Amino acid sequence: MQPNTSAAWQDRVPGFVTLLVISVVLRVVLILYSEWHDAHSIVKYTDIDYRVFSDAARFILYPKPQGDIAKGPLAPLFFTVGNPYARETYRYTPLLAILLLPNEWLHPSFGKYLFAACDLINGALIYRILMSHILPHTKSLAPDVSAKDSKRFMRAHASLLAATHLLNPLVFTISTRGSSEAILCTFVLLTLFYALERRQNAAAVVLGLSAHWKIYPIIYGVSCVSAITSQRIDGKGWKFSHLLRRLVGREAICFVLLSAGTFIILGAICYAVWGYPFLYEAYLYHTDRRDHRHNFSPYFYLIYLTYSGTSANLSTWRQLLRSPFTSLIPQLTLSLGTGLVFGQLSAGLPFVWFVQTFTFVLFNRVCTSQYFIWYTLFIPLLVPRINLSWKKWVMCGAVWMGTQALWLAEAYKLEFLGDDVFFGLWVRSLVYVVGHAWVLGVIMRGYIPHVSCNQHSSIPE
């Protein structure tokens, strides 16, 4: 999609600071509205997860009367720290509950303001990455623009693209309703920023923090290491030491050790305080979760129908059909494989991470609307390098949203009207998989990679 290069277009786009101010006002108004709405309506604006986080924070400060305190091996001996996992369905790192402690002593909406602030930081990071690493290398973007106007053009373009995130209803609704996804997005974008800046140590540490927050960012480590090991062997010949250095390079090993070390240290500290409940709820639960209630993934119906049954009496091929590996193998093959291959071929980290995340979400056995933000985050960074007609863009948007709307309409009938639409809902889940796979294919076909000749750089762009 080639932008209009006329000066009038650039002048109509507000500056990034103006955009930030608009975003701040929008979010503050929505948070204030949420307080009024929740006080006057049975159907709440605030996400149920926000209540979960807030309760968990309260339980840390004021343990439940039944004496549910932290029971880790090194739990504080001289003062009591509560157990956030006493709150049912709290399945996150305890650091999130600690971040929301001001909900108790400052204001109940503190967490929402924190998530909204992360939204704004994410917008700023997107703007910065576009200005520093994407737009300067996208020469075909504005061939007719003079060098004098190019900076102004880039600023306008970056503001416009950052606005697609900051003013995206999905984004600001999620954060003002009290979902914590914005925090993870900040960590992911920070990791990407440091990686593109070639500050590998910082990237590794923030990646470790991201993976502690939620496991899935581990997949980005594959592409980072792959990009590091794609350094060109210099003209001194194929010495064994050079080959070894490439395969087990110092930079790659440092990255892995720093990243894994950060993850392990954070996990160890949390385990030391909160013990096995932390390990189970934050990580182990997710390895064997069976989400039987309807969600976008078509596997919900299979899980529901076979919830209490045993597969032992079934034939081998039936057991195979029910096995979690039917989704896990495609999911891991694509989310890790694309990181490995595209990272090696210097496809550009924003694109690689987009494809990795999209495939991870698409083939996951559970999928809710919040998961989409994990990859829509990267779209503003990809747009300058995607060559699609506006009709194709409209079609992608229509299919992406339309398949979700189709599913949501049926889910409403099931959940709130009690209609027998399990089968129809499952069919629409299949339509969701097909539609979103098609959208991914279109975006991949339209992508124009920027391949750098300078393979000595640690993580090429």
Give one DSSP letter per residue of 172-211, joined into a string.
HHHHHTT-THHHHHHHHHHHHHHHHTT-HHHHHHHHHHHH
Task: Give the footprint of another protein on residues 403-432 (CB under 8 A).
Answer: 414-423, 426, 430
Q: Which stretch binds another protein (CB under 8 A): 118-126, 194-202, 257-265, 303-311?
A: 303-311
> Could you tell me which residues come within 8 angstroms of residue 47 by beta carbon, excluding any fewer than 6 positions away?
174, 177, 178, 179
Least spacing, CB of residue 386 vs another protein, in Å = 12
Q: What is the DSSP letter of 355?
A: H
Select 155 or 365, whichever has its Cβ closest to another protein: 365
Can you tell me which of 254, 260, 332, 341 binds another protein, judged by CB under 8 A? 341
> CA torsion 226→131→116→110, rounded to 10°?
90
Can you tell me which of 74, 280, 451, 456 binds another protein, judged by CB under 8 A? 451
Q: Which stretch binds another protein (CB under 8 A): 7-15, 173-181, 326-334, 370-378?
A: 326-334
The reply to whether 67 sits near another protein by the rule CB under 8 A is no
The reply to whether 216 sits near another protein by the rule CB under 8 A is no
Select 199 or 413, whichever has its Cβ closest to another protein: 413
Least spacing, CB of residue 246 vs another protein, in Å = 15
Can you tell me which of 32, 248, 268, 305 binds another protein, judged by CB under 8 A? 305
The reply to whether 220 sits near another protein by the rule CB under 8 A is no
The reply to whether 355 sits near another protein by the rule CB under 8 A is yes
Least spacing, CB of residue 170 vs another protein, in Å = 23
Structure tokens at 49: 């997860």
| Polymer length in residues for the chain | 461
Structure tokens at 409: 């309409």
The reply to whether 392 sits near another protein by the rule CB under 8 A is no
191 closest CA partner among 161, 218, 215, 171: 218
Can you tell me which of 30, 141, 160, 334 binds another protein, judged by CB under 8 A? 334
How far is the C-alpha of 357 from the C-alpha of 370, rounded, in Å?
13
Q: Which stretch binds another protein (CB under 8 A): 115-123, 156-164, 199-207, 438-446?
A: 438-446
The reply to whether 241 sits near another protein by the rule CB under 8 A is no
Can you tell me which of 293, 368, 387, 456 binds another protein, judged by CB under 8 A? 293
Least spacing, CB of residue 149 vs another protein, in Å = 29
How far is the C-alpha of 48 from the C-alpha of 45, rounded, in Å?
9
Select 128 or 322, whichever has its Cβ closest to another protein: 322
**Collapsed DSSP state (helix, strand, coil) of residue 359:** helix
Select 308 or 316, whichever has its Cβ closest to another protein: 308
Least spacing, CB of residue 88 vs another protein, in Å = 6
Q: What is the largest CA-CA distance in the chain?
A: 74
Task: Give the footprint of another protein on residues 141-170 (CB under 8 A).
Answer: none
**Considering CB under 8 A, how many residues would be counted as binding another protein?**
63
391 contacts 362 by C-beta, under 8 angstroms: no
Q: Which stretch binds another protein (CB under 8 A): 21-29, 154-162, 316-324, 368-376?
A: 316-324
CA gyration radius, the chain: 24
130 closest CA partner among 362, 122, 459: 122
Can you tell me which of 338, 357, 376, 403 binds another protein, judged by CB under 8 A? 338
How far is the C-alpha of 446 from the C-alpha of 386, rounded, in Å?
5
Task: Give the footprint of another protein on residues 253-292 (CB under 8 A).
Answer: 292
HSE (CB half, 13 Å, CA atoms) of 6?
4
The residues with which 82 forms a beta bridge, in sequence order, are 69
Helix axes of 349-362 and 218-228: crossing angle, nearest 10 degrees: 150
Select 33 or 423, whichever has its Cβ closest to another protein: 423
Query: Rounded to 5 degrees, what are φ and ψ at 454?
Result: -85, 85
Select 78 or 307, whichever has its Cβ closest to another protein: 307
Residue labelled with tokens 């994410």: 122
296 closest CA partner among 429, 200, 414, 197: 429
The reply to whether 233 sits near another protein by the rule CB under 8 A is no
Q: How far is CA 292 from the centre of its chain?
A: 23
Element (H, E) at 410: helix 390-417
Q: Which stretch binds another protein (CB under 8 A): 23-31, 172-180, 300-308, 375-383?
A: 300-308
If phi > 0 it is left, if psi is from -120 to 50 it is alpha, else beta; for residue 310 that is beta
Structure tokens at 104: 């108790």
Can you tell me which of 31, 45, 50, 55 binds another protein, judged by CB under 8 A? 55
Can you tell me which of 12, 330, 397, 456 binds another protein, judged by CB under 8 A? 330
* Interface residues toward another protein, by CB under 8 A: 42, 51-52, 55, 87-89, 232, 292-293, 298-299, 301-302, 304-308, 318, 321-322, 326-327, 330, 333-334, 337-338, 341-342, 345-347, 355, 359, 362-363, 414-423, 426, 430, 433-434, 437-438, 440-441, 444-445, 447, 449, 451, 453, 455
